[in-house]
Structure 1
Amino acid sequence: MSVTGTSLIPGEESSAASARTGAHTPVAVRRRIAGDPSQGRVLMLHGLANSASLWDACIEHGLGSSGAEVWTAELPWRGTSVSELSARGDVVPYTADALRAVPGGAGVVVAHSMGANVLLEFLNRSLEKGVDPFAEFGVRGLVLVSPFYRRSAEEFSWQSVAFAVDNFTRIMTEGIRVHSAGRLSEDAQRSLGERVRDRVGAYGWMRFFETYLRTPRLRTGLFTVPCLVVAGEHDFAAPPEEGRALADDLPEGDFRLLEDCGHFLMIEQARRFAGLVGRFISSTSASRPPGGPRPGSPQEHDR
C-alpha cells in the first residue's frame, strides 16, 4: 500500500524516503499498538537527539489501555542523523512525511520539545498559505509536551540565547540520566551528554533554536483543534510558564503541570503522563471532523 510517496511496509512499519536530501529514510513511522481506530489514533513525535524509544515507558505503562491505535515516528532530528540532515537546511517540511505516513489520518499528535516546535511551525506555515493542515492530515488534537514558546521577539535577549547554548550539554546529560534510570555514574552521564551534544553539532542546535525564535509569529488563533500542553514542574530547559502561555494563546488550549519531573516527563512520570494523554484521546471524539469547532472547556492547572 502506498500513501502519496510514503510506503507502508507489511509488518506494521511505514518509511518515508525523501528526494529533498537523497537520504534513505529520514522519516520512518511504525505502528506500536494495533488498537481500535474507532477509539482514536495517536502519532508520537520525539525531540532533538532522541528517538521513538522516548515513548516506550508511557506506552508500556498505560497508553495501550486507551484502546487507541498508537504510532511512533523516527524523525530527521534523531540522534543518528541530526548532524547530516540539519546541515542540509530546513527540517520542518519532513513533518508532512510523518503525518502522511499514518493510514487514515494522524489523529491526535503527541510531540515533545523540538518535535512540538517543529510541528507548530509546520502547521503554521500551512495556515499562512490558507491551507487547513488539520483536515489535510486528519489531525483531531495536539498534545504539546515541554514546548518552547515566547510571545514576542523582544523576549529573546542575548542572555536567553546564551542560556540556551550554555545549557545544551546539561539537557543532553539530563536525557542520558533519565533514560539510564540510575545505571550510570554522574561522570558517565556527563561524558555521554557531551558526546550527544557534539554529534548534534552547531547546525542541529540551530535547527532547534530557529523554531524557538519563530514562536512569536505563530498564528495560534487559527489552531482550531483541542490542544493539551503538558510541562514538567522542574523543567529548566522549557520553563513551565512558557507552556502555560502557549496554552493561554490557543483557542482550545488546556495546560497541565506534572510535579516531580523535568523535561522528560513521559519517562519520569510515565503512568501519569499516559493517563493524561489517554483521557485527552477519549475526550477528542473520533466522530469530530478534523479542524472543526468544539465548545470551549475551562483550563485546568494540575499540580
Structure 2
Amino acid sequence: MIGYLIYEKSNVARNMRFVDMFMEAAKRHGVTLRLITLDEIAFGTRDGEAFLLPEKPDFAVMRCMAPLLSHHLEMMGVPVFNNALVSQICNDKRKTHQFLTEHGLPTLPTAFVHLDTPRHPFAYPVVVKAAGGCGGHKVFMCENEADYLAKLAVISPDDAVVQPLCDTPGRDVRVYMLGGKPLQAMLRYSEQDFRSNFGLHGTAKPIEPTEEMLRMCEKIASLLKPDLVGIDFIFHQGKTYLNEIEDAVGTRMLYQFTDLDPVDLYMQHILHTLS
C-alpha cells in the first residue's frame, strides 16, 4: 500500500519533524508513504477521464490547502484525509462561518470584506483576518478605520473577514477531533498578544472540554466527516462561540504538553478506515 503525504513545497522545511514522524509511523504499520509537494503533481482531465501524475496512490494525506486536488483525487477513487469537503469549507474563513451559521452553530458577528469592499457594521476595535490564512498569520487588531484599511491593504489581494474584538483576547480552546471523536482539548493563551496561537509564542495546557463544546464538535463531525481537525472556540460576555475549524491542524502542543502521539493515532485511524 502506497500513500502520498502532500504538502506545499514552501511548508516542508518547517514541518520536517512532523513529516519524519509520519514516515516512521507509516513504516511501523507496514505502509509506504511518499512525501509529495504540490509542484510535483499534474492533474486534470483528458479523453473523458481524470488523470494524475505521478501515479495514483492508494490514499492521500493532505497537509495543505488544495480543495480542487482533494476533490480530483476523490473523483479517481482515492481516499483523502481530510476529505475535499473539509478542505473546501475549513480553508476559507468565510465559508466556515457560512457553514456554521447555516447549521445553527454560534459564532461572533462576522463580515466578509475586501480592500475594494471594506464596509462592516462593527465598532472598533475589530479583528481582521485573511480569509485563507492559518496559524495566526495575517491576523490584525485594528483600533480605527485608517488602521483597518491599512491592514486590508496588507491582506490584499486576499479576501478577509472582520469581527468585533472579543472580551477575552489572547485566549481560546482548541478541541482536536480524530475520526469524529474528541482526542484532546487544549487551552491556548498568550500574555503578550491578542492571538493565542501556540506557533506565535503562546502557551497551552490540556483541559477537559465542556459539554457544550463537545455537542458542537460532534455536530460538526457528523456534518463534515473529518479525519483530524482542530475546532477552535473563543469566549465573549460569558458565552462560547465557534471561531475556526483547522484542516491541516498542527499537533506540536499535543507532543509538548501531553503523552499523546497524534501522528501514530492518525495513522492507525487511516489504516482502520481503509480496511
Q: Normalised by the size of structure 1, how large is the TM-score?
A: 0.38
Greater percentage in strand: 2
The structure whose Rg is larger is: 2
TM-score, length basis structure 2: 0.41
Structure number with greater CO (CA < 8 Å, separation at least 6) is 1
